[in-house]
């Protein structure tokens, strides 16, 4: 019988940014832990251990997505812990952080305990919990930050909402600092944004939709920089979408302010021109994208609600600035903002549709395509944004292949081309703009604590047998 939760992965390109390792070698997993990396891996492997030929593949620490909406409790028609973590595993993710804007909101120790317990039973990847900053995410009164920390949250955020009262935010930062918790913020100034539904600019005017100005994001990023400086607390700005925000963060980081930022693939792949329909997008902002031949460019109608998210898709200039921020390290973290919604909720007029798209199954490929295949970033730098950087921000004992670490391992093929279809999705929701797109780069195997939770091909093979 093969050893349990053990495996020898041979001949892969092993990339572990935390150990500054990037070479073709072997990794030995024994009883759910990394036992050895390098020449000693093979020497130490027992003869019963399962072997995995990783030749031509990248072997790296399990990817971490620190911005996921699992929708439990309260919104399990959209997603559940079981389906959301299955989608994560397919996407190559071994750990995720779930956002607290559930119903009820995750603003008490009891709700944190409920989710952690359910995730242990039903989740296939590690689920870390973010608690709310304010009670009920109402932005009026602080949540019990100390007891949230005791219950195990790794950060606090009112994501989906943004605390408008600067004094309340200051006090949240002061409390969070006492508990060494990072404060993650969805940056949106309500008085500037009001009921904007897409980026304010040429296309919002042309399409007659209410604009969500980039200044509404920049204003809160600037506020957060000032408050991080004042309090010394660690502030993390979520889903950065605008050139102004990137410039503010770059300057603040130069001055040593404890501030960080993340980017999601939709903001550095797409622009607001997508809302005018595919023909307009491919003729303009999408012209150079992914080198698709004319005949294989996906098409969609104008006003498609799968291009509606918050913050919104912005201009080509903003998209370029986000890419530059990722390249120069201003934005150190990649994540999805996986935000599932039911079909019937999205199948309404653009104005009335909820914001958000799913992303766990496409973020690795889209990041590889825009950052690695375009030679903007090396593989190791890209992997760091999915592993070491989020682990550092959240103080997780994850994100590395060092001997003794939990054997959370992702194996992916950066060159594998595939087309994303609803039948390849494990998510309960289908609100992604990327169905039908030819993507390049895919997780081949995802392992959590030595246990394989996803393996490419196994499922299609099983379907074949069932006829």
Which residues contribute to the site for Zn ion (CB under 5 A)? 159, 186
- On whether the CB atoms of residues 152 and 112 are closer than 8 A, the answer is yes
User: Is 79 or 159 the residue whose CB approaches Zn ion more closely?
Assistant: 159
- Closest CB 187 distance from Zn ion, rounded Å: 9
User: Is 159 or 262 the residue whose CB approaches Zn ion more closely?
Assistant: 159
User: Is 13 or 267 the residue whose CB approaches Zn ion more closely?
Assistant: 267
- Closest CB 176 distance from Zn ion, rounded Å: 18
Ramachandran bin of 71, using left for φ above 0, alpha for ψ from -120 to 50, beta for the remaining angles: left
- Closest CB 342 distance from Zn ion, rounded Å: 19
- Chain centre distance of CA 277: 26
User: Is 159 or 413 the residue whose CB approaches Zn ion more closely?
Assistant: 159
- Closest CB 83 distance from Zn ion, rounded Å: 21
- Closest CB 441 distance from Zn ion, rounded Å: 25
User: Is 185 or 408 the residue whose CB approaches Zn ion more closely?
Assistant: 185
Find the DSSP H helices in 152-306. Answer: 166-178, 190-193, 202-207, 215-231, 243-254, 265-269, 278-283
Q: The tokens 């102004």 sit on which residue? A: 244
- Dump the DSSP string for 133-176: SBGGG-SSSB--HHHHHHHT-SEEE-TTS----HHHHHHHHHHH
- Chain centre distance of CA 186: 14
- On whether the CB atoms of residues 220 and 161 are closer than 8 A, the answer is no
Task: Give the Cα-Cα-Cα angle 444, 385, 379 (nearest 5 degrees).
Answer: 55
> Which residues, 6 or more positions from 158, have their beta carbon under 8 angstroms from its beta carbon?
100, 101, 132, 133, 134, 137, 139, 185, 186
Q: Which residues of 100-121 are buried (b: 16+ CB within 10 A; e: fewer)?
A: bbbeebbbbbebbebbbebbee
- Closest CB 197 distance from Zn ion, rounded Å: 15
Distance CA(103)–CA(268), nearest Å, equals 31
Structure tokens at 306: 């799968």
Instruction: For residue 437, count other CB atoms closer than 10 A to its CB.
Output: 21
User: Is 290 or 355 the residue whose CB approaches Zn ion more closely?
Assistant: 355
- On whether the CB atoms of residues 76 and 345 are closer than 8 A, the answer is no
- Closest CB 448 distance from Zn ion, rounded Å: 26
User: Is 186 or 236 the residue whose CB approaches Zn ion more closely?
Assistant: 186
Catalytic sites, residue numbers: 337
Nearest residue (beta carbon) to Zn ion: 186
Distance CA(464)–CA(415), nearest Å, equals 25
């Amino acid at each position: 019988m093969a050893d349990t939760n053990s495996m020898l992965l041979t001949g892969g390109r092993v990339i572990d940014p935390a150990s500054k390792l990037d070479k073709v070698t072997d990794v030995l997993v024994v009883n759910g832990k990394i036992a050895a990396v390098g020449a000693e891996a093979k020497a130490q492997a027992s003869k019963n251990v399962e072997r995995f030929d990783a030749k031509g593949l990248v072997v790296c620490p399990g990817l971490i997505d620190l911005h996921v909406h699992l929708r439990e409790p309260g919104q399990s028609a959209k997603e559940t812990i079981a389906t959301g973590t299955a989608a994560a595993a397919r996407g190559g993710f071994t750990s995720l952080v779930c956002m607290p804007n559930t119903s009820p909101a995750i603003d008490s120790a009891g709700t944190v305990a409920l989710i952690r317990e359910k995730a242990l039973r039903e989740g296939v990847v590690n689920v870390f919990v973010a608690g709310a900053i304010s009670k009920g995410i109402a932005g009026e009164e602080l949540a019990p930050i100390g007891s949230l920390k005791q219950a195990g949250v790794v950060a606090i955020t009112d994501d989906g909402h943004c605390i408008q009262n600067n004094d309340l935010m200051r006090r949240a930062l002061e409390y969070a600092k006492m508990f060494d918790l990072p404060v993650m913020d969805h940056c949106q100034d309500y008085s500037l944004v009001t009921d904007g539904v897409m980026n304010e600019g040429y296309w919002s005017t042309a399409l007659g939709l209410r604009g969500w100005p980039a200044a509404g994001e920049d204003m809160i990023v600037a506020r957060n920089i000032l408050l991080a400086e004042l309090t010394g607390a660690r502030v993390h700005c979520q889903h950065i979408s605008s050139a102004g925000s990137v410039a503010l963060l770059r300057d603040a980081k130069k001055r040593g302010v404890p501030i960080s930022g993340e980017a999601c693939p939709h903001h550095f792949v797409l622009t607001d021109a997508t809302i005018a329909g595919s023909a307009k997008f491919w003729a303009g902002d999408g012209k150079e994208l992914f080198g698709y031949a004319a005949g294989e460019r996906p098409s969609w109608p104008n006003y498609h609600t799968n291009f509606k998210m918050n913050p919104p898709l912005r201009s080509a200039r903003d998209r370029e600035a986000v890419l530059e921020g990722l390249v120069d390290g201003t934005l150190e973290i990649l994540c999805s903002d996986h935000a599932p919604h039911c079909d019937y909720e999205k199948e309404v007029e653009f104005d009335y549709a909820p914001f958000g798209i799913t992303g766990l199954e496409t973020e690795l490929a889209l990041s590889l395509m825009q950052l690695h295949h375009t030679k903007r970033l090396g593989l190791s730098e890209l992997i760091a944004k999915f592993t070491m950087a989020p682990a550092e921000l959240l103080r997780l004992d994850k994100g590395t292949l060092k001997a003794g670490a939990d054997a959370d391992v992702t194996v992916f093929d950066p060159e594998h081309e595939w087309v994303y279809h609803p039948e390849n999705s494990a998510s309960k929701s289908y609100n992604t703009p990327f169905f039908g797109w030819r993507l390049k780069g895919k997780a081949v195997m995802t392992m959590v604590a030595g246990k394989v939770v996803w393996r490419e091909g196994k499922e299609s093979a099983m379907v074949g047998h069932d006829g």
